[in-house]
Structure 1
């Protein structure tokens, strides 16, 4: 048996090795691989030479380490240097958070695809406070004031740009949609394309479409409820997709009428999961950006591609059909297609995102509300009384919608932004430039400093003039120039669907053990959970 004998312990004095440590720690914060990789490679090669020739760890039984052993040692030195820097020398090292989140992006990447991100990040905020370091270069906030600081225009006129690590796309998506555009000017251009579709005039046309499909849904539920319990989550999905299908493509998916899920709808979750996996893999290493299509599960990739191709087919069919009596989403976009330089893939991307964002979020609100109304009979009876009394403004209905979007936000994560060069103040704290920041919406709306009894479903809090809750901590449609363009349409759709459901039916959950928060995984948006419900049509006049 032999032992290690160390000679000339001056390895750390080597300028090249010191440069290697600096490059290795800076690498994760840069996407310029052409700059970093040669430097890192050169540093490793010199480190091998130093270890082999100048430090010369030696076995008693042999003169030198073998090259593979030296290579392993050098890699560990690089990794240790990287982790040491992130923990103790990084500009964010003074911010609270778990050590395993500070040393690597792996923790946060795993959190994204785990399905439990809302609860995981909330737990960190409850332990460490309203600002938490969740990755080497990223901070999560849960305070009310951070919303305005991060997402609205600064006093200097600047707007924090989106973090491309979250909004990345690959060739499957073909063209950017409004939510994936990083450049502020390009995003403003995209919103200009969408704005006519969400004007007050357009909203009147959209209301007719919503009422038509809402009435069809009520008939379907009334008829099918005689056969046994219904999965209302599926029914809500049908109607929201049918509405958005007609508004985007000029024709519905026919799900409510056929009472089955269209193939396009069935692939939407795979598309969302694909995006989540893409963002997670890119976080682990920028080198994975070009390999995302190879690394995500094959079935997920196939379904995502099928979703995109189906979207394009629907768009081409709509363009070929020409204008009808009523304008749909494509009508407004086609009016300025040539002026804005849009091709078929742009139309596909915009329409696909509109349907994905509008339908799934509204379905989440409807399903979550059904659960909470069944679990809170007092609220259900009060809401039913207001609706059946045909109150003019329905204030309690409005409060109920506000409260369900607070307790179960349809977008339950933080939308990341990059702090401008030179640094800025967020929530009264100076944040170094280049740092990724976000307000974690789930943590913000469940922060006891913002809302009393945050886990209790209490719509009255939105009506009580003496209530001290900080309502600015709940922003389901975001704030500022990148806020949701379709929020007025979403509000109109939710009010119509909820009013009709409560006016026409009584219902109760089949599974008394169902816990909506515990049993609803979230991967960017809520994944599907069966909401089996006994529905009882009421005799109304």
Structure 2
């Protein structure tokens, strides 16, 4: 038997095995009766394609619109969009045999051990949360408020600067990419609280290289996830298809974090920052990993929410006018604004909540593994080992849960009877249960304070040609994009 014949038998056998797997997944698999994409049901290849093209969440939403509250999105994967599913999958249980663990293949580490709160399994996660949570409590936010105020003061001054031709400062006419500037202030703040000094984005009117690399790092993570879904070919696919420039961004990003954190550890600060809370409970590797994830993930999601809020506020008739009336009617001077008082502004909070509903900062469902023995979810028996998720995008943009879900209505959060049948229980912008976002108090304080200061200080209007945020692609978070507005110092009566 010659080598070509042997090769032919091997190729034929490989094809036969995969055809049989495809047929099993389609006609015999325990999830075969769940509606959804037939292409996705036979192989992970289609899901991997959607992930690397940034279309996964949009396609999942379309399938929910077509088939209902539960759909099949992979050979062993289901997506849900109901309150009962959110509570079952993410709500948390004291019994360890009921925990829906994170699916390691669906995250950046693939199958490797992780050393941070975001990727850790339940037991390790509890330890990390106990150490990290105090830094993000409401009382801790009050403790670091002077740092927040100082950085936002600089942000407001910079937006009054008209250094045309330098960085991304506003033009003489006040035209500015506010998506970029939301990124600058958020990451300067996070850097000041993490490393003891800001990145300098606001001062220079441009991104620090560490910030520039973040979306590349998250894109790298998405490509790794796509590859790991295709085991046993994942290692080959990583080598063949993950671009070198993505690998380079990832490496430079990690290297800068290590060097900067080490410098901060070796030079203790008199100011209270996050390292004050962390350094006694985490080793050096855990510190590095935790800082890297918390800043990258927290920064991008917060900045995108600020930018999206300004998009919907300036593109929805009457909303900015109501915001101006509330903010300027409450505060006689800019110096009166603090976090506690800003959080009392009902319409501001309604606008933020409506933004997080229509444009969730994390649109993708967070994959979990069904415990051994299987579980019933929304009346469907799901075998143990299956992958399940429920996403904010699929839940909050569904007409099953909200009236006019694709329209921006802040009034739905203020008791308007048009929306009395809305299922607001599915609104979990910071997730729920034991693994909900540890930084939710900080994020809301941050977003509310920055927006309130902007609205008090400037008259804001949209420029033509901005993209609707929902048309953007996503890699777990939304891709960066420009949002052009015109700002002018407010006019006093």
Q: Please, what TM-score do these two structures have when normalized by structure 2?
A: 0.91
Structure 2 CA distance for partners of 1:435 and 1:211, relative to 1, 3 Å:
same
Correspondence for 1:517: 470
- Give me the whole-angstrom Cα distance separating, in 1, the residues matched to 2:74 and 2:123: 29
**SS in structure 2 at match of 1:522:** coil
- Give me the whole-angstrom Cα distance separating, in 1, the residues matched to 2:480 and 2:189: 19
Cα deviation for residue 251 of structure 1 reads 1.2
Cα deviation for residue 293 of structure 1 reads 5.9
Correspondence for 1:288: 234
Number of aligned positions between the proteins: 469
Correspondence for 1:250: 196
- Give me the whole-angstrom Cα distance separating, in 2, the residues matched to 1:363 and 1:272: 15
Correspondence for 1:189: 127
Structure 2 CA distance for partners of 1:429 and 1:156, relative to 1, 3 Å:
farther
Cα deviation for residue 533 of structure 1 reads 1.7
- TM-align CA RMSD: 2.1
1:91 has 2:30 as partner: yes
- Give me the whole-angstrom Cα distance separating, in 2, the residues matched to 1:251 and 1:187: 28
Deviations 1:270-327 (A, max 9, x none): 11111010001100224425873664110010011100000001101000101x2222
1:378 has 2:318 as partner: yes
**SS in structure 2 at match of 1:529:** coil
- Give me the whole-angstrom Cα distance separating, in 2, the residues matched to 1:76 and 1:70: 10
Correspondence for 1:331: 276
- Give me the whole-angstrom Cα distance separating, in 1, the residues matched to 2:288 and 2:92: 30
Cα deviation for residue 155 of structure 1 reads 7.5
1:215 has 2:150 as partner: no
1:428 has 2:376 as partner: no
1:396 has 2:351 as partner: no
Structure 2 CA distance for partners of 1:483 and 1:248, relative to 1, 3 Å:
same
Cα deviation for residue 254 of structure 1 reads 1.1
Gaps of 5+ in 1: 1-51, 53-64
Q: Please tell me whether the aligned partners of residues 134 and 140 of structure 1 are also in contact (alpha carbons under 8 angstroms).
A: yes
Matches within 5 A, 1:265-280: 265-280=211-226
- Of stretches 453-462 and 326-335 in structure 1, the one that deviates more from structure 2 is 326-335
Cα deviation for residue 468 of structure 1 reads 1.5
**SS in structure 2 at match of 1:377:** coil
1:470 has 2:423 as partner: yes
- Give me the whole-angstrom Cα distance separating, in 1, the residues matched to 2:116 and 2:457: 38
Q: Please tell me whether the aligned partners of residues 91 and 432 of structure 1 are also in contact (alpha carbons under 8 angstroms).
A: yes
Higher relative contact order (CA 8 A, sep 6+): 2
- Of stretches 422-431 and 126-135 in structure 1, the one that deviates more from structure 2 is 422-431
Cα deviation for residue 156 of structure 1 reads 4.8
Cα deviation for residue 456 of structure 1 reads 0.6
Q: Please tell me whether the aligned partners of residues 232 and 531 of structure 1 are also in contact (alpha carbons under 8 angstroms).
A: yes
Q: Please tell me whether the aligned partners of residues 466 and 483 of structure 2 are also in contact (alpha carbons under 8 angstroms).
A: no
Correspondence for 1:316: 262
- Give me the whole-angstrom Cα distance separating, in 1, the residues matched to 2:469 and 2:10: 50
Correspondence for 1:354: 294
Structure 2 CA distance for partners of 1:285 and 1:479, relative to 1, 3 Å:
same
Q: Please tell me whether the aligned partners of residues 227 and 237 of structure 2 are also in contact (alpha carbons under 8 angstroms).
A: no
Q: Please tell me whether the aligned partners of residues 121 and 443 of structure 1 are also in contact (alpha carbons under 8 angstroms).
A: yes
1:239 has 2:185 as partner: yes
Cα deviation for residue 376 of structure 1 reads 0.8
The match for 1:453 among 404, 409, 419 is 404
The match for 2:39 among 96, 100, 103 is 100
Q: Please tell me whether the aligned partners of residues 138 and 437 of structure 1 are also in contact (alpha carbons under 8 angstroms).
A: yes
- Give me the whole-angstrom Cα distance separating, in 1, the residues matched to 2:291 and 2:91: 26
Gaps of 5+ in 2: 163-169, 332-340
- Give me the whole-angstrom Cα distance separating, in 1, the residues matched to 2:476 and 2:206: 25
The match for 2:81 among 142, 148, 152 is 142
- Give me the whole-angstrom Cα distance separating, in 1, the residues matched to 2:281 and 2:116: 16
- Give me the whole-angstrom Cα distance separating, in 2, the residues matched to 1:270 and 1:218: 29
Decide which structure has the larger Cα Rg and report it.
1
Cα deviation for residue 408 of structure 1 reads 0.2
Structure 2 CA distance for partners of 1:398 and 1:449, relative to 1, 3 Å:
same
1:75 has 2:14 as partner: yes
Cα deviation for residue 511 of structure 1 reads 2.8
**SS in structure 1 at match of 2:330:** coil
Q: Please tell me whether the aligned partners of residues 504 and 540 of structure 1 are also in contact (alpha carbons under 8 angstroms).
A: no
Cα deviation for residue 362 of structure 1 reads 0.9
Q: Please tell me whether the aligned partners of residues 136 and 438 of structure 2 are also in contact (alpha carbons under 8 angstroms).
A: yes
Cα deviation for residue 476 of structure 1 reads 1.0
Deviations 1:56-97 (A, max 9, x none): xxxxxxxxx943433333222211110110001111111111
Cα deviation for residue 530 of structure 1 reads 1.2
1:199 has 2:137 as partner: yes
**SS in structure 2 at match of 1:384:** helix
Q: Please, what TM-score do these two structures have when normalized by structure 1?
A: 0.83
- Give me the whole-angstrom Cα distance separating, in 2, the residues matched to 1:236 and 1:200: 22
Structure 2 CA distance for partners of 1:291 and 1:319, relative to 1, 3 Å:
farther
Correspondence for 2:433: 480
Give the ranges of 4+ consecutive aligned residues of structure 1 lying more than 6 Å apart after TM superposition: none
